[in-house]
Amino acid sequence: MPQTSLKIKDKYLVIRTDIEEGKVIVKCYNSDEHFNYDINKPDRVDEDLVHTEEQIHKDLRAMAEENGHLVRQYSTDPQWNPGYIDNTEELTKTEENEKLPD
């Protein structure tokens, strides 16, 4: 269940998505400043019949980043963040180069 976390002024929000019966369900939770919330009590629930979970979170994060509201450390799936750079291949090459000879 992907999660995007936002801080807007003094309000903390968590937006989660899930697939239920082939539909993307978007759930919004009010949370405390540590992004704790009751997963069983969303404050708002909507269906999205057009977008994928990934596209919902990418679009939301782009808008949130632009307005200074995205809290990356409490958001899952960092590859969906604006400006994400996948450097796993680069890290793998570096690790291979750092191996000590037998």
From first to last of its 102 residues, the chain has per-residue pLDDT tens of 999 999 999 999 999 999 999 999 999 999 999 999 999 999 999 999 899 999 999 999 999 999 999 999 999 999 999 999 887 666 555 555 665 555
Predicted pLDDT of residue 87: 75
Predicted pLDDT of residue 93: 56
Spatial distance between the Cα atoms of 28 and 44, rounded to a whole number of angstroms: 5
Give domain limits for the chain: 3-97
Predicted pLDDT of residue 46: 96
Predicted pLDDT of residue 99: 59
Predicted pLDDT of residue 37: 96
pTM of this prediction exceeds 0.85: no
